[in-house]
Amino acid sequence: MKFESKCILYALFVPLLLVIIIWVIHIFQWELHTCWKNLGIYPRSVQGLMGILTSPLIHGSFKHLFSNTVPLFILGWCLFYFYKDLSYLVFPIIWIGTGFITWCIGRESWHIGASGLIYGMSFFLFFSGLFRKYIPLLAISLLVTFLYGSIIFSMLPVSELVDCTISWEGHLSGGITGLFAAIIFRNKGPQKPAGPFDNEIEEEEEENIELNCKSGETEKSGTDLISVAGCETFGN
């Protein structure tokens, strides 16, 4: 198997595993006729702290689960494929950071679902591509904008007026965390490769610096000679 094919398959592992776990958990809930919303986040309460780790795994309905499954898988694959060296740091940061901010700012209700992760990965992928100015990563930024640009509305408090079950706080928390991760890791992971003329420009800059240094030394020597000559003149 070619190296690139292996990278594609490895990038599928975590998103696929997460989707399977989420579906198994929800099917258990459905079969047992129970709701495990108490595993979600309840803001500013000790009881709700556990939800920082478990809330992305819990969904309120199959509709809720369906709406999160495809973007979670696609964005997860993009993260683990295009940022494979950073993904195992970025993903936990988005997971925990999103949950913690939601716990701090959320309404006093149970917040469940993986949409915070989706917003976090969307923002990370979008801004990481912009920061790096690298065409393949910029293409991912544009793809995210095309597919999920409309999600911005669900980060605003007005979305609560349309659907009171939307956790806009969780979405906003994911966006903040994803942007934060993109900023702190902007100089790590994949970067724009050096262009064919970059080395030439660097060599020219080094030559200019050397010439400036040499001209500076010559001017200094000339000044010293003039000073000495002046002293001799005044001495006579």
**Arithmetic mean of pLDDT, 199-224:** 51
Judge whether 81 lies within some domain: yes
**What pLDDT score was predicted for residue 158?**
85
**What pLDDT score was predicted for residue 221?**
43
Same domain, 222 and 152: no
**What pLDDT score was predicted for residue 5?**
79
Same domain, 112 and 210: no
Same domain, 178 and 208: no
Judge whether 192 lies within some domain: no
Task: Please give the Cα distance from 164 to 162 (Å, whole number).
Answer: 7
**Arithmetic mean of pLDDT, 40-51:** 95
Judge whether 189 lies within some domain: no
**What pLDDT score was predicted for residue 222?**
46
Judge whether 160 lies within some domain: yes
Residue type, 51: G
Mean pLDDT for the chain overall:
83
Judge whether 156 lies within some domain: yes
Judge whether 227 lies within some domain: yes
Same domain, 61 and 119: yes
**What pLDDT score was predicted for residue 116?**
95
Same domain, 113 and 156: yes
- Say which CATH number the domain at 32 has: 1.20.1540.10
**What pLDDT score was predicted for residue 138?**
87
**What pLDDT score was predicted for residue 18?**
96
DSSP-based three-state secondary structure for 12: helix
Question: Which token pair is 66?
Answer: 């369906």
Q: Please tell me which residue, 68 or 8, carries the higher pLDDT value.
A: 68
The per-residue pLDDT for range 142-181, each reduced to its tens digit, is 888 777 777 788 888 888 877 888 899 999 999 999 999 9
Same domain, 223 and 133: no
Judge whether 134 lies within some domain: yes
The per-residue pLDDT for range 95-114, each reduced to its tens digit, is 999 999 999 999 999 999 99
Residue type, 223: T
DSSP-based three-state secondary structure for 44: coil
Same domain, 85 and 133: yes
Domain that holds residue 233: 197-236
**What pLDDT score was predicted for residue 232?**
35
Task: Report residue 139's pLDDT band, with 50, 70 and 90 as the boundaries.
Answer: confident
Same domain, 33 and 126: yes
Judge whether 28 lies within some domain: yes
Q: Is the pLDDT of residue 90 over 80?
A: yes
Same domain, 137 and 230: no
**What pLDDT score was predicted for residue 229?**
34
Same domain, 29 and 103: yes
DSSP-based three-state secondary structure for 36: coil
Q: Please tell me which residue, 235 or 119, carries the higher pLDDT value.
A: 119
Q: Which residues, in sequence order, are bridge partners of residue 111?
A: 41
Cα–Cα distance list, 62 to 17, 24, 69, 99, 197 (Å): 18, 12, 10, 22, 54
- When divided into structural domains, the chain yields a total of 2
3-state secondary structure 159-197: HHHHCCCCCHHHHHHHHHHHHHHHHHCCCCCCCCCCCCC
